[in-house]
Amino acid sequence: MPKPELYLIDATAFCYRAFYAIRGLSTSFGQPTNAIYGFISILNKILKEKKPDYLAACFDVSRDTFRKKKFPEYKIQRPPMPDGLSSQLPYIKEIISAYGISVLEKEGYEADDVIATLVKKTREKGFFVTIVSFDKDLLQLVDEDAVVFSPYKDEGVLYDRQKVKERFSVEPQAIPDIIALMGDDVDNIPGASGIGEKTAIELIKNFGSSENLLENIDKIEQEKLKKIIADNVENIKLSKELAILNDEIDLDFNLQNLKIQEPNLMELVRLFNYLEFKKFLKDLPNPQEKVQGMRVTKIEDKELKGLMDSIDELILSGEGIEDAVFSYKNNFFSLVELGPNIKAILSNPKIKKVGHDLKKIKISLSKQGIDFSGLYFDTMIAAYLLNPAKTEYSLCDLSLDYLGKLPSAKTPDNRCAADLVKELKPKLEKELHDKSLFCLFTDIEMPLIEVLAEMELNGIKLDLGVLNKLSGDIEKRLISLIEKIYELAGCQFNINSPKQLRGVLFERLKLPVFKKTKSGASTDEEVLRKLATSHKLPALLLEYRQLTKLQSTYVNTLPQLIDKKTSRVHTSFNQTGTETGRLSSSDPNLQNIPVKTDIGRQIRRAIIAFGQGSYLLSCDYSQIELRILAHISKDENLISAFKNNKDIHKITASFIYGLDEKDITDEMREVAKRVNFGIIYGLTAFGLARDLNITPDEAGQFIDAYFVRYPRVKEYIQGQIQKAQKDGFVTTLLGRRRYIPEINNKNQAIRQFAQRKAINAPIQGSASDLIKLAMIQIHGQIKQKKLATKMILQIHDELVFDVANNELNEFIPLVKDKMENVLRLDVPIRVQMKKGRNWLEMEPV
């Protein structure tokens, strides 16, 4: 009969390793989660692959152990546990407990000693023990009833007695003797200075133990080695004492408690949801058999005729309308086919439509010729306003966040989803009111859904001839560029391989290393720009990367995205993609087309008017973020400059350089422009120095001069940081919130980044709110006047329309009025307008 098997995890060591191995992982509210994620990954690997019946996680409690009392310098060189790691340990222990696994620790002892004691006690009970660790100290516990498993390196390494002897040439119990001689830099165990691992192993092989070695120093043949041992007798004895694990701890444990219990799935759901671990959530078995409280009755189209006037709200699942579900006097009805009466309900603006991702439903219905009206409450948009930092707003996520449950996978259709929408709406609505976000929701975000849906349906038209020619031109430039790169490198290599590129730049050409990554010297864009000042090759590499990116992202891809039915490209405008409230676009992302490069401009040439009977009209807010800064800071000098229609960049240049405006050069104005916009983004003197390639002192003088001229701007910046520190969030002019929990982080770099967000979010978010309001009003005018003009693009501060030739004279003043007067500021809002047959070649209007 096989022995029962116990797994013991060296938990503290794994937490440390995960913390340093995984970088930059945290929740949307700033809680670091890298160590938690790494530890759970290892735990799940063990549970899945080894399927243990008995398991315990062993932790260190503190550094104040018996070894520290014996040798005060023990582990002295190790820095204190980082705050980012210590804040994660409580969650790790909660998760372990929720898995039904015991957490064991003992004040005054290390996890290794806890493990040693458990090995001894359970061995006496007839258990076989597998220690999960990568620490060589624990190899001393290996025997016929205990092994050490290191889960790294693909399948991991299992150290039994034979494997230990292969690695160290001695029996496992002799590992402390080797450590006694060679010491341990990590734990600051002194050993004998001058003896490494190879020599230590050889000595223990010959003498059997460190004690026998010390009793027979005269038998050591090498004089130098003999002297080292003789000079370090006390260190060797002390080191052996420190290396030996204590297996006699008075540990209060019950063998039955080491048996893995049934996991608390709801607690794991709560923890994983809070920590935003979507992957782990999906791996959990569903804690619910079904979602309760759902009664669905099928109703035919003909039966709806008499009910139409009584329907208050139509609840849609958001997964489409194949099985739309609506409520009528607290009952649910399932609509199977879209007959004329059902279509009338969907099109009736008086019937409030509640659902999840209503834009998706509207687009789907529009393609079937149905005008989906009366959009009232979108749970996805509501959740986004309440927490704009989340990475996902699926019904599953919201169900976990607000209802504390997972949707049932066993529900065969959209009834479950519709039920969740019905449950979510009052909770989200209440929170919108509580946080003063309901007006923003009803006045901007909900009306915007219809605007964006129509923009997506309108699409954009492409000139394929322009793109084909551009593709050929890029290919020729790349061929020439590659030849020059090989010539300067002195060899041919894979330009797309970071490893080969490192070899060329830093080994072959001996260029300086500015930054290192886990895999070696960095070759990112920032590094290449620095290197480009001293060598021609990095500049060519930057050009190569830019060309290949534009080629793959736009020039060769856009033609493949053309819809065969409409002959247009239909990008998706995302309402929930940014924390500031800005829209984003995808499939394709048209907001990232570079305008400062020749190729980027040529891509704009390929975006054309719908036909000879229309023009593209570009309407771009002028310096809108600086104007908003003037308004919210109430700085008199900044307000005066905009009211008097001054060149704000030239004015700024005049006082940072101490010159009259007439003496300011274009180069000086460009520097001042960087300062003006840098202030909005919380740019420091160091950051400005890096951007302008000047000294930090010069950059600091520029910024100081700026604040002398605009003192209220400095007050605004300080005030926003203080508000974020106090409230945990900042707001736009219309009340949109951006939460910044990391504003009080002890890590200076994280804290400073949070401060920059606190400065910028109200400005960028207010600009976003303003253009959204303008889009809604312009869209309303287009509908009211029954114009043929279409809104087709929104790119940051720019709107692009396809305007019928005969509507230009009416539409241009209309859109200018709406964009410039949609929100009253202390400074005038200005819009620059241009028209053309394509998006590049345009003339002012």
Is the pLDDT at 150 greater than 60? The verdict is yes
Higher confidence at residue 137 or residue 63? 137
Compute the average pLDDT of residues 561-577.
94
Residue 3 identity: K
Closest listed residue to residue 190, CA positions, set 232, 223, 226:
232
Domain 5-169+245-258 sits in which CATH superfamily?
5'-nuclease (3.40.50.1010)
Is the pLDDT at 412 greater than 60? The verdict is no
Q: 293 pLDDT band (50/70/90 cuts)?
A: very low
Higher confidence at residue 305 or residue 443? 443
Check residue 290 and give its pLDDT: 36
Check residue 410 and give its pLDDT: 40
Q: 289 pLDDT band (50/70/90 cuts)?
A: very low
Please give the DSSP secondary-structure letter assigned to residue 577: S
Greatest mean pLDDT among 144-158, 271-285, 505-519, 599-613 lies in 599-613
Greatest mean pLDDT among 72-76, 112-116, 281-285, 801-805 lies in 801-805
466-569 fold: Taq DNA Polymerase; Chain T, domain 4 (1.20.1060)
Query: Which H or E element spans position 10?
Result: strand 5-10
Check residue 411 and give its pLDDT: 43
Both structure tokens of 699: 């950059």
Compute the average pLDDT of residues 647-668.
91
Compute the average pLDDT of residues 162-174.
89
Greatest mean pLDDT among 261-270, 308-317, 409-418, 439-448 lies in 439-448
Report the DSSP beta bridge partners of residue 161: none
DSSP-derived 3-state class of residue 767: helix
Is the pLDDT at 153 greater than 70? The verdict is no
Closest listed residue to residue 408, CA positions, set 318, 326, 292, 324:
292
Q: What is the pLDDT of residues 718-767, one digit of tens each?
A: 999 999 999 999 999 999 999 998 898 877 888 888 999 999 999 999 99
pLDDT above 90 covers what percent of the chain? 53
Please give the DSSP secondary-structure letter assigned to residue 2: P
CA dist 831 and 812 (Å) reads: 11
- Phi and psi at 785, nearest 5°, equal -90, 0
CA distances to 314, 325, 358, 383, 421 from 318, rounded to whole Å, are 12, 10, 6, 14, 9
Check residue 288 and give its pLDDT: 45
Both structure tokens of 605: 């040439």
Residue 184 identity: D
Compute the average pLDDT of residues 494-504.
91
CA dist 122 and 129 (Å) reads: 8
Check residue 300 and give its pLDDT: 63
Check residue 294 and give its pLDDT: 39
Per the prediction, the chain carries an average pLDDT of: 88
Compute the average pLDDT of residues 446-450.
98
Check residue 775 and give its pLDDT: 98
Give the range among 83-92, 442-451, 745-754 with minimum mean pLDDT.
745-754
Give the range among 73-87, 298-312, 336-350, 534-548 with minimum mean pLDDT.
298-312
Q: 292 pLDDT band (50/70/90 cuts)?
A: very low
Give the range among 1-10, 35-44, 79-88 with minimum mean pLDDT.
79-88
- Phi and psi at 61, nearest 5°, equal -100, -50
Cα torsion angle, 356, 358, 364, 369, sign? positive
Is the pLDDT at 291 greater than 50? The verdict is no
Q: 15 pLDDT band (50/70/90 cuts)?
A: very high
CA distances to 115, 202, 649, 653 from 712, rounded to whole Å, are 62, 74, 18, 18
Check residue 446 and give its pLDDT: 98
DSSP readout, 718-757? HHHHHHHHHHSEEE-TT--EEE-GGGG-SSHHHHHHHHHH
- Angle (nearest 5°) at CA 154 between 153 and 157: 55
Under 8 Å between Cβ of 609 and 802: yes
Furthest C-alpha separation in the chain: 109
CA distances to 28, 235, 424 from 400, rounded to whole Å, are 16, 57, 11
CATH of 288-458, one of 3.10.520.10, 3.40.50.150, 3.40.190.10, 3.30.420.10: 3.30.420.10
Check residue 320 and give its pLDDT: 47
Q: 407 pLDDT band (50/70/90 cuts)?
A: low
- Domain 609-635+714-845 -> CATH class: alpha beta
Give the range among 234-238, 565-569, 593-597 with minimum mean pLDDT.
593-597
CA dist 43 and 49 (Å) reads: 10
Give the range among 334-348, 428-442, 768-782 with minimum mean pLDDT.
334-348
- Angle (nearest 5°) at CA 32 between 30 and 38: 150
CA dist 89 and 165 (Å) reads: 35
Is the pLDDT at 637 greater than 90? The verdict is yes
Is the pLDDT at 622 greater than 90? The verdict is yes
